[in-house]
Structure 1
Amino acid sequence: MSSANPVSICSNALLRLGGKAIASFEEPSTQAGQCANLWPTVRNKLLRAYPWNCATKRVILAPMEAAPAFDFQYQFQLPSDWLRTLQVGKKDCPIPFRQEGRRILANVTQLPLVYIWLNDNPGTWDDALVDVAELKMMAVLAYPVTASTTLRDTCFQEAAMAEKMAKAVDGQDEPPEVLGGSDLIEARFGGRW
């Protein structure tokens, strides 16, 4: 488990830019204020961008009391920490649904949901994801701290490359996908011609 936290991520980003470290978002400095304002958006965009293992949750939702006006029998309130829907229904049994605002409409009485949640504790993140967060913060702080558009653009490119690598590593923690036995697959790989 990492010892990272939002302040350390932002402080490291500032140090990488040649700025001064911060110890708190409440410090009376321009950089602390910028970090406090920018961090939530950077964090949420980063978490929403990929189904990171550290930010994926499963729940079974119960329907709300009020039914939708038409087309669906039930509506379900998304969890308060929801950022992005990954799966509605079980893996091999998806449920037809429609998302409207922070509600999901469906014709079932229980709704299995896999989603990205607002994991705002970077101490539970993979180190590669923490590094990406530092690089993303460095990119958004580059112009305010250095007034250099060239450095800003370079930082965004570096962050994008690090994000690709972090996604690849995170994806390797998943078991390989097994293809189902269809006639085409059996004919091609099962020895039947």
Structure 2
Amino acid sequence: MADVTGLCNSALSKIGAARITALSEGSKNANLCAELYERCRDDLLRAHSWNFATARAKLAKKSDEPVFGYAAAFALPADWVRSIGAYNNEAGLGFLDFKIEGGMLLSDAEDVYLRYVRRVEDVNLMPPDFREALAGLLARELAVPVAQSNTLEEKLEGRFRTRLRRARTTDGLEDRADPLPLGAWAAVR
């Protein structure tokens, strides 16, 4: 069973640093892992529409309307990291014109159904290749403050990019592509 400490230890081992027993142990390595882990996780989640992190929600309309530009504002889910698409129906057909501003989704629609990337906090819900890419990103971020090596950071950047490509490819193979909306010519038929 994977956990955050294990993932951090994987990152620390990539830079030849001492392992930790917990993020709260008070050591330099534990403090840096505690500081960097959530930022790296969320950064990696934003980088792709990961299948394991994709969620759907009907958004709640807020009582305060935007001053101009859009008719309505909707509250984003608490675990929202990035939007994938917004729709005005449960079927998820046809994209809405929307904008994310100030922690809200703005749109002219009455109802908004959102596909989004959610924050996944349980490491066990992350696929192994995503965890490995996350450990690589964390190792890269730890290279200078822990190992004090810019050269190591550059090497780890290349390894991280390779792991990220592999994780994205595997993720992309696990579902079929969304159909493209009909173009103007096909719609008039």
Same fold per TM (> 0.5)? yes
**Is the contact between residue 15 and residue 152 of structure 2 (CA under 8 Å) also seen in structure 1?**
no
1:71 matches 2:69:
yes
**Is the contact between residue 4 and residue 130 of structure 1 (CA under 8 Å) also seen in structure 2?**
no
1:158 matches 2:159:
yes
Amino acid in the other structure paired with 1:80: A
Moved more, 86-95 or 101-110: 86-95
Which secondary structure state, in structure 2, belongs to the residue aligned with residue 113 of structure 1? strand
Identity in percent: 27
1:9 matches 2:37:
no
1:142 matches 2:140:
no
Structure 1 residues 61 and 179, CA, compared in 2 at 3 Å: closer, same or farther? closer
Structure 1 residues 179 and 95, CA, compared in 2 at 3 Å: closer, same or farther? closer
1:34 matches 2:61:
no
Equivalents in 1 of 2:60, 2:8: separation in Å?
Answer: 39
**Is the contact between residue 57 and residue 117 of structure 1 (CA under 8 Å) also seen in structure 2?**
yes
CA-to-aligned-CA distance 1:38-97 (integer Å, 9 cap, x gap)? 111111100000011111110011211122223322110111111111101164311112
What is the CA RMSD across the aligned residues, in angstroms?
2.1
Structure 1 residues 60 and 181, CA, compared in 2 at 3 Å: closer, same or farther? closer
Describe how 1:27-176 pairs up with structure 2 within 5 A.
27-89=25-87, 91-176=92-177
**Aligned twin of 2:18:** 20
Equivalents in 2 of 1:59, 1:40: separation in Å?
Answer: 23
**Is the contact between residue 138 and residue 155 of structure 1 (CA under 8 Å) also seen in structure 2?**
yes
Which secondary structure state, in structure 1, belongs to the residue aligned with residue 32 of structure 2? helix
Structure 1 residues 71 and 177, CA, compared in 2 at 3 Å: closer, same or farther? closer
Structure 1 moving runs of 4+ over 4 Å: 176-182
**Is the contact between residue 86 and residue 115 of structure 2 (CA under 8 Å) also seen in structure 1?**
yes
Structure 1 residues 53 and 179, CA, compared in 2 at 3 Å: closer, same or farther? closer
Structure 1 residues 107 and 152, CA, compared in 2 at 3 Å: closer, same or farther? same
Which secondary structure state, in structure 1, belongs to the residue aligned with residue 65 of structure 2? coil
1:175 CA displacement: 1.6
Amino acid in the other structure paired with 2:163: A
Matched pairs, number: 183
Structure 1 residues 34 and 179, CA, compared in 2 at 3 Å: closer, same or farther? closer
CA-to-aligned-CA distance 1:131-165 (integer Å, 9 cap, x gap)? 00111111111122222211110011100111011
